[in-house]
Amino acid sequence: MALDENLQKVRHSCAHVMAEAVLNLFPGTKIAIGPAIDNGFYYDFDFTGDKKLTEADFPLVEKEMRRILAGNHEFVRREVSKTEALELFKDQPYKVELINDLPEGETITTYTQDTFTDLCRGPHVASTKEINAQSFKLTKMAGAYWRGDSERPMLSRVYAVCFAKPNDLKDYLKMLEEAEKRDHRKLGQQLDLFHLDPEDPGQIFWHPNGWQMYVTLQDYMRKKVVDDGYLEVNTPAIMPRTLWERSGHWGHYQKNMFVTESEKRLFAVKPMNCPGALEIFKSRTRSYKDLPLRLAEFGHCVRNEPSGTLHGIMRVRGFVQDDAHIICTEEQIEAEVSKFCRLLLDVYKDFGFDKNLLVKLSTMPEDHVGDEATWQHAEAALAAACKGAGMEYEIQPGEGAFYGPKLEFTLIDALGRQWQCGTIQLDYQLPSAERLNAEYIGKDNQKHHPVMLHRAVLGSLERFMGILIENYAGAFPAWLHFEQVAVVPVAPEFNEYAQKVSDTLRAVNIRSNAYTDDDNMKAKIKVISSEHRTPYILVVGAKEQEENSVTCRFRFSSQIPQRTFGLEEFKSYVLDKVNTHFNGI
């Protein structure tokens, strides 16, 4: 068995130990579920008594867990009847509901360690001695609706991290500490990028600094896709229920859609852009000569995500995707996927994310449409295109969309965290006669249904901005930064020259500010360095004014010594870094 599978068993078993400890310390607590997750586990509790768990109680719970672990208790598996299970958990309503929802005839199992018995499929470690008492730590609490339903009770979810060895835990906690410093919500305030209003959950208020970066990112992607042969389009924000019914979204996604009514007709704010792209394709007669047709859209989508799942700008209700839909023939699939892979690598390289990219090929699920031969052809085309672009992939069996297989691209940030961003999905369903009935005239002068590739490089621009903020810890590459250059005079008599330098840079679209306020030079530089994290700080005085030069202090001054440039030389230097999207300074 692979190490990660063993570790997941350890984590799942440790979740049971935590549940036992909580019940010992908080009698009367109702327990729900406690799965293993990446880096640890969680358990959901309903604290119905007077005494409720808070994060201040975590050391007490951890102490009780270690006491239980010291007993070296076996995890004993039992198969029980439904009647016996209902009797065992008669005082635990969430367990009773789970038991009653099990299919008739399904095997019901319990696991017992020490005095605690839980309803569980397992698997677990053999005994608590396999769990290192110094390799776990409770980390946080959060609210979670029972079974993800906002109409059901809000439970208290207790998270913990858990590893095989104490040193692994220490390393992970160090990473968490660094991640806390890089939290995009904190840096968003410090850098004055955006704010979030609790009265308008899941919506972002972009401030000038943040919006400058957002627009820079969007313009960067716009040029990339136009240069790669895409045509940019824009589709309505609100479209009728009839369209969403034909596309299938009304039946499968309605609970996540914001719906409105006008003149006795129902409309929905679009949660995704794909039906609009096909409506553009269908707006006139198309020939095989028009294919592939690559339609890019920075489409603003809105999804009714539960408020408890929202997280800064990483998970929101309103967002923009760097979306595109490639409408093509079946024979063109491989070439188009390969072309997309090259585009994605080119983009990720500009952010320094091209070295450790993970690629997964998700194949046909049990619940799918279309025949198996078509699926095999599509999967082979995706695999060949991926390898043709020089990328290795791993298979995710049965994880494809119901309409077709997909490639998912996961980048790794400066802290080693993984973020799934890019994707390309192969869709035979939406253009079909049963859905939106897109057609083109083939070489045989007959009507055919095209194939559609849904693809995004960055995914949500908002989420990608959050990733960038945390990856760079606010010290963005010069091409992306809201303030590329800060000009600081050594004394007030050089304010006019400082402004001249800044204006010269601004004239060629270098984002520059002259700091001519009354603060002294050292105070200005401290603010610019620590709060703005500006890549280039130009200090100007008598010598610089006389020689029409600037003395540049680089952001990482401990690594790069300051350097004197002629003003025109510095302008060329910065433009080269910006125009080539250099990922350093």
* Encoded amino acid at 471, one letter: N
Q: 167-193 burial by CB neighbour count: b if 16+ within 10 A, else e?
A: ebbeebeeeeeeeeebebbebbeebeb
User: Rounded to the nearest 5 degrees, what angle is found at the Cα of 112, between the Cα atoms of 111 and 117?
Assistant: 90
Q: Is 515 left (phi over 0), alpha (psi -120 to 50) or beta?
A: beta
* Encoded amino acid at 530, one letter: S
Assigned token pair, 83:
């009647």
Active site residue 454: yes
For the chain, how far is it from start to end, CA to CA, in angstroms?
46
Please classify residue 568 by burial: count the beta carbons closer than 10 Å to its beta carbon, then call 0-12 exposed, 13-18 middle and 19+ buried. Answer: exposed
Integer CA distances (angstroms), 325 to 279, 285, 446, 453, in order: 12, 18, 23, 6
Out of 9, 249, 270, 454, pick the active-site residue.
Answer: 454
Active site residue 421: no
- CA–CA separation, 297 and 304 (whole Å): 21
Active site residue 325: yes
Out of 14, 120, 274, 421, pick the active-site residue.
Answer: 274
User: Rounded to the nearest 5 degrees, what angle is found at the Cα of 384, between the Cα atoms of 294 and 397?
Assistant: 100
Out of 249, 325, 368, 449, pick the active-site residue.
Answer: 325
Out of 406, 435, 481, 577, pick the active-site residue.
Answer: 406
Out of 321, 425, 429, 484, pick the active-site residue.
Answer: 321
Half-sphere exposure of 547 (CA within 13 A, CB side): 12
Active site residue 303: yes
- Residue 560 phi, psi dihedral angles, 5° rounding: -125, 120
Measuring CA to CA, which residue among 542, 547, 472, 552 is closest to residue 505?
552
Query: Alpha helix (H) ranges present in 71-165?
Result: 82-88, 93-100
CB atoms within 10 A of CB 433: 10
Query: Alpha helix (H) ranges present in 262-390?
Result: 274-281, 333-350, 372-388
Give residue for tokens 């009367």: 28
Out of 73, 124, 157, 303, pick the active-site residue.
Answer: 303
Please classify residue 353 by burial: count the beta carbons closer than 10 Å to its beta carbon, then call 0-12 exposed, 13-18 middle and 19+ buried. Answer: buried
Length in residues, the chain: 585
Q: 77-112 burial by CB neighbour count: b if 16+ within 10 A, else e?
A: eeebeeeebeebbeebbbbbebbeeeeeeeebebbb
Active site residue 449: no
* Encoded amino acid at 277, one letter: A
The answer to whether 169 and 456 have CB atoms below 8 angstroms apart is: no
| Catalytic residue numbers, as ranges | 274, 303, 321, 323, 325, 406, 454
